[in-house]
Amino acid sequence: MANFIFIAGGVMSGIGKGTTSASLGVLLKSKGYKVEAMKIDPYVNVDAGTMNPIEHGEVFVTKDGIETDQDIGIYERFLHQDLTKENYLTLGKVFLSVIQKERALEYGGKCVEVIPHCTDEIISRIENLGKRADFVLVEIGGTIGEYQNALFLEAARQMKLKYKKRVIFILVSYLPVPEMIGEMKTKPTQTATRLLNEAGIQPDFIVARAKVPLDEPRKQKLALFCNVKKENIISAPDVEFIYQIPLNFEKEKFGEKVLKEFSLKPKRKNLKEWKNLCDRIEKSEKELKIGIVGKYFKTGKFVLMDSYISVIEAIKHACWYYKRQPKIDWLDAENYEKNKESLKELLNYSGIIVPGGFGQRGVEGKILAIEFCRKNKIPFLGLCLGMQLACVEFARNVCGLKKAHSTEFNPKTNFPVISLLKEQRKLLKEKSFGGTMRLGEQKCKIKKGTLTFSLYKKEIVFERHRHRYEFNNKFKKIFEKNGIIFSGINPERNLVEIIELKNHPFFIASQFHPEFKSRPLSPHPLFLGLVKKSIENEKK
């Protein structure tokens, strides 16, 4: 049975609980231990699939097709391992399971209650994950003091009671430095610790997030008022890039201190690959300008990068591989609909990406951007909806099918180059939206002799999907006649997975989401291809 590490957040959200947890996982793996990570979301949603990206950030898809929180993507990238449905839990999933068991008389006619039945369900899932690891890192979403995560904190408290020294708690808390005062304040973290104490939990570690490193007086103060050993107060200042964090934690001996709490020692020490990665990043000085044309950017006056966090990270991985520093700009597709002259700004970029998305807003602007990239030989990568709109643009402007569209946006189009599969029509008619898309890892056969094959260097690959609409094979011949190559096909269902354009330096689009499989230590081939051609385009 594994050891369990619970990570909770204090003061405010968005301070890096997931990155902290993933970085600790890197350290434990480097010391010879098997690690699993679990993200607990305190939402009544069964999964993240129906959430708006502006509300909750990117929906990350696992290999087995579960729509999850973006933190699962952080764990996969840091730990360099694929996660599954067992690694993601929501309050909705807990309630659904308990209700289904009650309906099936699995509780033997008992009065089913939140405690112990819901907490038992949570504990059971955490324990099951522990069967395949030495350590399970459990990130409890939300912030201490919120009512939404109270049930998960209670389950964690019960696990401490049950497993005693095989359970520890880490509080990740923010220490502000108000400009008008100019001093780092510990009081919010003291308050967060007391709120955790009220839930019956005493933190064993405090990870102090702040703009600057924690000084000695602040460490002493936190140790005294939060009842945590001073050596277990870990400084976590802002960093230039998140992949520095495991190395920063290693300097603080965070991994060794955690092992000490479990009366364990490192089996080995090996952070060589991680150090090499950070060295490469630090030596990547020359910028490469990449534009992302999309719509999930703004909430009020603020720009949210979390909507496309995996795309951003995949670009970074590929740029760093070529020792370039990515300069990523957000380009609002709706601007191109209002002012076509503004399309000329695309010439300022070495490469353009049109990522996935849902809904009518910004669609025509994306199509205009794709046309501009095609005509002006700008390296282009389309992802999911980006591929579908590349097909619409090509049908309209090259094949002569002027009113071609996707039936998602125009159900009555005479040229439905993108349409629903039969089973998807049935699901939508029944209003069965959650977890019913084409999801997870699917086989793709790459056509030999294509640009795509030169990137993957193998014939069979597996990529992750999240969509309902597909290319309509009735239009295959006219597309091929006019210069499109269908370079990736799903062999089981004859579905188009990748297209590329003849006589263009780099015009590739995929129905799947390659960004979900990119890792800092193993960049994705399609992003590597885009970056390589973007560098060549820059030189021209």
291 in the same domain as 263? no
Q: What is the total count of domains within the chain?
A: 2
Is residue 515 part of the annotated active site? The answer reads yes
151 in the same domain as 38? yes
Domain span holding position 496: 284-539
pLDDT at position 147, please? 86
Which residue among the candidates 393, 470, 497, 515 is catalytic per the annotation? 515
Place of tokens 């019960």: 158
pLDDT at position 301, please? 47
Beta strand segments in 308-361, E: 325-332, 351-354
Answer whether 331's CB lies under 8 Å from 303's CB.
Answer: no
Place of tokens 């305190």: 42
155 in the same domain as 129? yes
Q: Once rounded to an integer, what is the mean pLDDT over residues 392-407? A: 96
Is residue 384 part of the annotated active site? The answer reads yes
pLDDT at position 304, please? 58
259 in the same domain as 308? no
Closest listed residue to residue 235, CA positions, set 20, 440, 393: 20
Assess if residue 31 is contained within a domain.
Answer: yes
Give the end of a domain, one of 207, 236, 270.
270
Tens digits of per-residue pLDDT, 47-93? 887 777 766 778 999 999 999 989 999 999 999 999 999 999 999 99
307 in the same domain as 425? yes
What H or E segment, with its residue span, contains residue 175?
none
346 in the same domain as 266? no
pLDDT at position 298, please? 58
187 in the same domain as 240? yes
198 in the same domain as 68? yes
Give the end of a domain, one of 270, 300, 315.
270
385 in the same domain as 289? yes
Assess if residue 37 is contained within a domain.
Answer: yes
439 phi and psi angles, rounded to 5 deg: -125, 150
CATH number for the domain harbouring residue 303 = 3.40.50.880
CATH number for the domain harbouring residue 106 = 3.40.50.300
301 in the same domain as 176? no
Tens digits of per-residue pLDDT, 51-62? 777 667 789 999
Q: Once rounded to an integer, what is the mean pLDDT over residues 335-339? A: 91
Assess if residue 361 is contained within a domain.
Answer: yes
Answer whether 456's CB lies under 8 Å from 498's CB.
Answer: no
303 in the same domain as 185? no
Q: What's the per-residue H, E or C state across 197-216?
A: HHCCCCCCEEEEEECCCCCH
372 phi and psi angles, rounded to 5 deg: -65, -40
Percent of the chain with pLDDT strictly greater than 70: 95
What is the rounded CA–CA span in Å between residue 348 and residue 346? 5
Which residue among the candidates 118, 384, 399, 444 is catalytic per the annotation? 384
Assess if residue 278 is contained within a domain.
Answer: no
Assess if residue 275 is contained within a domain.
Answer: no
What is the rounded CA–CA span in Å between residue 112 and residue 115? 8
What is the rounded CA–CA span in Å between residue 399 and residue 480? 10
Which of 39-43, 335-339, 370-374, 416-420 shows the highest mean pLDDT?
Answer: 370-374
Assess if residue 501 is contained within a domain.
Answer: yes
At residue 296, does pLDDT exceed 60? no
Assess if residue 276 is contained within a domain.
Answer: no
Assess if residue 265 is contained within a domain.
Answer: yes
134 in the same domain as 30? yes
At residue 24, does pLDDT exceed 80? yes
What is the rounded CA–CA span in Å between residue 72 and residue 61? 9
What is the rounded CA–CA span in Å between residue 281 and residue 285? 8
Task: Give me the half-sphere count of Cα atoms (radius 13 Å) on the Cβ side of residue 476.
Answer: 14
DSSP 291: E
Which residue among the candidates 467, 504, 513, 524 is catalytic per the annotation? 513
